Each structure stands twice: as C-alpha cells, then as structure tokens.
Amino acid sequence: MSAPQTKATSNIGKREIIRALWQLAKPSIVFFVLLTTGVGFFLASALPMDMVLLLHTLLATGLVGAGSLALNQWMERQADGRMPRTAGRPIPAGRISAFAGFVWGTFLTMAGLAYLLLRINLIAASVAALTVATYLFAYTPLKRKTSLCILAGAVSGALPPLIGWSASTGSLSSGAWTLFAIMYLWQIPHFLAIAWRYRDEYQVAGFLVLSESELNGPGLGRRMFFYSLALLFASLLPTVVGLTGSFYFIGALLIGMAYLALNTASLSTLNESAPVLFRASLIYIVLLFSFMVIDKII
C-alpha cells in the first residue's frame, strides 16, 4: 500500500508546483497586456492582418509579461507576505521556493525577449526590454521610496501597444505614441483606486504608493480627477493624428466625459467609491479600444 500512496503524493506535489508556476505568471494581467498589444498591432496593420505574425508577437509578449510578473513577486515576496491581499501568492505562502520563482521568471522573460528579437524585430524587442526594465528596476524598488513610483509604473504598463505596433510596422509613428499617452494616463487613476482601497496594507508592507497629502480622500480624489481630465483629451488624439475617424472620436468623447463625471462625483467619497472607480476604469479602457477597432473596420 505504501508505494501507491507515495506516487499519489508525488503527483499532488507536481500539480501544486505547476499551479504555483501558473499563478506566478498572473494570467489575468497577461491577458490584458496581450489585449493592448493586439490592439496596437491591429491599428498599425493593413487589412487583412498577418495573423501568423500577430500570433508570434502575442506569444513572445506573453512570455515577457509573465516572466516580469513572476520576477516582481520574487522581488516583493517579503512584503507580499505581510499583506492579506497577497499573502496567499505562491512564494510567500511557501508553495514554491524563492529560487524556483526567480528561475521561472528569468526563463520566461529571457525567452520572450529572445523570441521577439529573433522572430519579430529589434524595435519590438527593445520596447519589451524597456517594459521589463521600468517595471522591475524603476517601479518595483521605488515603491519603497516615493509615491512617484506610480509614474514609473505607468510607463511599463503603457508600452505593450507599442510592442504590437512596432511588430507590425517595424517602426513607431505618431499613432503609436497616442496609444502610449492614453495607456499612461489611464493607469494612474486606475491604480490610485487600488492604492486607496488597500492603503493600510500597503503601509504595513512599507510601500509608499500614496503621498502624505493623498492619505486623505479629497487630496487623492483631486489627483484622480486631473488625470482623468488629461485622459479625456489624450483619448481624442488618435483622431487628431488620423489614426481613427469620427465614430471613435464621438465614442471616446462620450465615455471620457462619463468617466470624468464619475471621478468628479467621487472626490469626497473614495471610501465607498474606490471599488466602483476601479471597475469603471476597466470598462472604460475596454470600450475605448473597442471603439478604435470598430472604427477601423467600418
């Protein structure tokens, strides 16, 4: 009886390791990265698109994104263990060793960068490398030093559309930079809603994601309002540079005004409205990119 039990235990262990590696890759976030990468590729491409090139681009970018997210968890494993929201992640929970997490993240990241360089082009690989660098070597360490870390983190989150664009065209034109501007400005109120909701946990972990003046609701609410206002104007730039037409312009204007109004109404009620603002930001960006895609098709 002992042999079958040992084998069963071994199988359970292997399944747990595979599950832990999968969770380290944060597939839900990688999916969003691939969505924005795909939009950048689509908007830059002549129709019909090169679907094979698109699939290679998404696979390579997915590897880079998954690896970077795994390495981020390796770097922040001690802080993650102090926050209830993240204590169940594979490394702080002890379901996988820190060394294994580091090796896994490094392998995925390097494989993705090599894939982009050898199969796509140098510009796409360089943009992806910049994404990794700003995320791991600017945003992650700055979280312990200054609330300006959010500005650095927004750079890494705004670059995936440029990976897709450069993969399609081999260059970065004005249209690509309008996508960057939109993604950059969108991320700040999006992340601030998360930062406010979990501000106590971030403080315990030693993450300075909010400044002293923003630890009171109105101060943070004003910052979210101003970035939402800037986002409204930035969202109209694709039409200004000729990337999109009137359908997108009208749609972007309407949802931008609605998102701004929601942020305005929440200036003094962040305790209740932060989860709503977080969900609204996701709905907003998905709608905005959908309008871009539809505008090009029609």
Quote the CA–CA distance of 96 and 93 in Å, as a whole number: 8
Structural domain contains residue 49: yes
Q: Is residue 9 packed enough to be buried (19+ CB in 10 Å), middle (13-18) or exposed (0-12)?
A: exposed
Question: Each residue of 73-84: b (16+ CB within 10 Å) or e?
Answer: bbbbbebbbebe
**Are the C-beta atoms of 37 and 160 separated by less than 8 Å?**
yes
The full 3-state SS of 261-292, as one line of letters, equals HHHHHCCCCHHHHHHHHHHHHHHHHHHHHHHH
Do 165 and 18 sit in the same domain of this protein?
Answer: yes
Do 68 and 132 sit in the same domain of this protein?
Answer: yes
Do 296 and 180 sit in the same domain of this protein?
Answer: yes
Structural domain contains residue 293: yes
- What does the block give as tokens for 179? 């996508």
- Residue 216: predicted pLDDT: 66
- What does the block give as tokens for 213? 């003046």
Quote the CA–CA distance of 133 and 242 in Å, as a whole number: 31
Do 40 and 58 sit in the same domain of this protein?
Answer: yes
Do 24 and 151 sit in the same domain of this protein?
Answer: yes
Structural domain contains residue 283: yes
**Are the C-beta atoms of 165 and 176 separated by less than 8 Å?**
yes
Do 197 and 109 sit in the same domain of this protein?
Answer: no
Quote the CA–CA distance of 101 and 25 in Å, as a whole number: 10
Do 298 and 187 sit in the same domain of this protein?
Answer: yes
User: Distance of CA 116 to CAs 6, 26, 62, 122, 181, Å?
Assistant: 42, 20, 11, 7, 23
Query: Which of 171, 198, 231 is the last residue before a domain boundary?
Result: 171
User: Each residue's pLDDT tens digit in the chain (298 positions)?
Assistant: 444 444 443 455 888 899 999 999 999 999 999 999 999 999 999 989 999 999 999 999 999 999 999 999 999 999 999 999 999 999 999 999 999 999 999 999 999 999 999 999 999 999 999 999 999 999 999 999 998 999 999 999 999 999 999 999 999 999 999 999 999 999 999 999 898 888 889 989 999 888 776 766 667 888 889 999 999 999 999 999 999 999 999 999 999 999 999 988 877 677 778 889 999 999 999 999 999 999 999 8
Quote the CA–CA distance of 176 and 40 in Å, as a whole number: 7
Packed helices 27-44 and 51-75: angle between N→C axes, nearest 10 degrees: 140
Do 240 and 108 sit in the same domain of this protein?
Answer: no
- Residue 20: predicted pLDDT: 94
Quote the CA–CA distance of 119 and 198 in Å, as a whole number: 41
Do 40 and 161 sit in the same domain of this protein?
Answer: yes
Do 268 and 182 sit in the same domain of this protein?
Answer: yes
Domain holding 122: CATH number?
A: 1.10.357.140
For the stretch 209-212, contacts whose Cβ atoms lie closer than 8 Å and that sit 24 or more positions apart, written own/partner, are 209/143, 209/147, 209/149, 209/150, 210/147, 211/147
Structural domain contains residue 1: no
Quote the CA–CA distance of 4 and 214 in Å, as a whole number: 58
Structural domain contains residue 7: no
Total structural domains within the chain = 2
Query: Which of 171, 188, 213 is the last residue before a domain boundary?
Result: 171
Domain limits for position 69? 12-171
Structural domain contains residue 133: yes
Quote the CA–CA distance of 249 and 253 in Å, as a whole number: 6
Do 32 and 103 sit in the same domain of this protein?
Answer: yes
Structural domain contains residue 228: yes
Could you tell me which residues come within 8 angstroms of residue 76 by beta carbon, excluding any fewer than 6 positions away? 140, 143
Do 24 and 166 sit in the same domain of this protein?
Answer: yes
DSSP 212: G
What H or E segment, with its residue span, contains residue 182?
helix 174-197
Structural domain contains residue 103: yes
